Amino acid sequence: MFVLYNTGMITEQKLRILTEAAKFDVSCSSSGSDRRNEGGIGNAAANGCCHSFTPDGRCISLLKILLSNDCVFDCKYCRNRVSSDTPRATATPDEICELVIEFYKRNYIEGLFLSSSVFVSPDHTMEQLLLTAKKLRTEYNFHGYLHVKGIPRADPRLVHETALYADRMSYNIELPSERSLRLLAPQKSRESLLLPMKDLQLSKIAFKEEKRKGKFLPAGQTTQMIVGATPETDGTILRLSQSLYRVNGLKRVYYSSYVPVVHDPLLPEKAAGEVREHRLYQADWLLRFYGFSAEELVGEEGNLSLETDPKCAWALRNMQLFPVEVNRAPLEMLLRVPGIGARSAYKITEARRYTTLRFEDLKRMRVVLKRAKHFLTADGKFYGEKREQAVRSLLAEGKPEQLSLFSDRETVFSALTGEL
């Protein structure tokens, strides 16, 4: 928690409640670490700060806070729901603005992730979020990164105006089907979440085409889905993500493994675990950068394998397509070889214009050969194992592992980003 000196603004108690209440939202990319300060320097478990990445790849720290946690909605999984007995607080737009400016001047943060429970009504909440964003930009002259949460059922005109001040907005889908929403978040519906996303995307396109002055959500939109609270399969989740990327132009879908923070007979008692979430991030990466479709990765009623990553699982189901010759295979096929990441695939297509690539060359290009060797030939030579043995080796090494300083560079990179 931050220590406030002479700021004469929001109280520490209010700040604690509003930052604590914001910590379960991962749609702004947060570390989620639970390492506490036990006498040393720093505290990774403190609420209030998270990190995000700008389009040019910079990592920036954000103040992550709710405007209010005094919610009138009653989503069963949420600690801030109206029927929950939790301390409540609501900040004013000026309190948030002053906090941001003070923290920015002290170099604590570079931007703001501003969310809110639905307090009073959806329109009132959206109005207060808009007012905060507008004040920050026009009165406090703040030009840092600003991510604002969209409120379901709020007047589209308020949402649209907020987008003129925010860098990014997000509507959290939370539950992947209408049925689960009806059951666990009765005041929300798919329409109340998906329509504003689509509206924002269409307005962004129109804004660009009409070459209007100013900015309209330059960092686009994101959303979050809770995984494991309801029975939807990975197939359903990934089809929804695919449609969000293709139709609504979303920048990122975040997956948040279900953690029980409230007790309700409709909810599982145990946390969903992180392996499934990790596999979904890997599959999501394949959707966005590797040309895979959700249908190729998993059947609608099915789940991703927990044993091996989704690209390897796809390759094992399609062994008739392999091995491919690395000097001739089209880029789209190289991207499907387990162990060849997007960067390696592009390097290969570039290098083979000048020379015939051999196995040693691939090593130098940081291709993960212990996986890739089963699926390719280099200059006509195959170094993999026979099919059954290859399957056994890949399944054995595919299990998610604890990363350490001694894990190889590609494995660490893959686990951090989802890249395969």
By CB under 6 A, tell whether 117 contacts ligand SF4.
yes
CA-closest candidate to residue 165, choices 120, 87, 217: 217
When binding is defined by CB under 6 A, the residue of 80, 170, 248, 256 that contacts ligand SF4 is 80
Residue 304 neighbours by CB distance under 10 Å: 23
Identity of the residue, 185 or 217, whose beta carbon is nearer to ligand SF4 in the bound complex? 185
Stretch that binds ligand SF4, among 34-42, 71-79, 238-246, 259-267 (CB under 6 A): 71-79
Stretch that binds ligand SF4, among 69-77, 190-198, 348-356, 394-402 (CB under 6 A): 69-77
Site for ligand SF4 in 273-332 (CB under 6 A): none
96 alpha carbon, distance to own chain's centre: 25
When binding is defined by CB under 6 A, the residue of 10, 15, 63, 71 that contacts ligand SF4 is 71
Helix (H, G, I), strand (E, B) or coil at 186: coil
CA-closest candidate to residue 343, choices 351, 282, 360: 351
Identity of the residue, 78 or 130, whose beta carbon is nearer to ligand SF4 in the bound complex? 78
Task: Provide the mask over 172-211, with x wherever binding to ligand SF4 is found by CB under 6 A and - wherever it is not.
Answer: -------------x--------------------------
Query: What token pair was written down for 199?
Result: 């509206």
Task: Provide the mask over 362-401, with x wherever binding to ligand SF4 is found by CB under 6 A and - wherever it is not.
Answer: ----------------------------------------
Q: How far apart are CA 22 and CA 49, in angstroms?
A: 10
Over 64-116, what HEC string results? Answer: EEECECCCCCCCCCCCCCCCCCCCCCECCHHHHHHHHHHHHHCCCCCEEEEEC
Site for ligand SF4 in 219-238 (CB under 6 A): none
Total number of residues that touch ligand SF4 (CB under 6 A): 9
Amino acid 94 reads D
Stretch that binds ligand SF4, among 29-37, 76-84, 198-206, 224-232 (CB under 6 A): 76-84
Q: How far apart are CA 303 and CA 198, in angstroms?
A: 28
Contact 234, 279 (CB under 8 A): yes
How far is the first Cα of the chain from the last one, in angstroms, to the nearest whole number?
36
The tokens 């009806």 sit on which residue? 182
Identity of the residue, 176 or 310, whose beta carbon is nearer to ligand SF4 in the bound complex? 176
By CB under 6 A, tell whether 154 contacts ligand SF4.
no
When binding is defined by CB under 6 A, the residue of 17, 75, 163, 368 that contacts ligand SF4 is 75
- Cβ contacts of 26 within 8 Å, gap of 6 or more: 32, 224, 254, 256
Identity of the residue, 16 or 137, whose beta carbon is nearer to ligand SF4 in the bound complex? 16
Question: Distances from the Cα of 83 to the Cαs of 90, 214, 235, 379, in angstroms?
Answer: 17, 42, 33, 67
Stretch that binds ligand SF4, among 67-75, 221-229, 244-252, 392-400 (CB under 6 A): 67-75
When binding is defined by CB under 6 A, the residue of 14, 81, 168, 279 that contacts ligand SF4 is 81
Binding site for ligand SF4 (CB under 6 A): 71, 73, 75, 78, 80-81, 117-118, 185
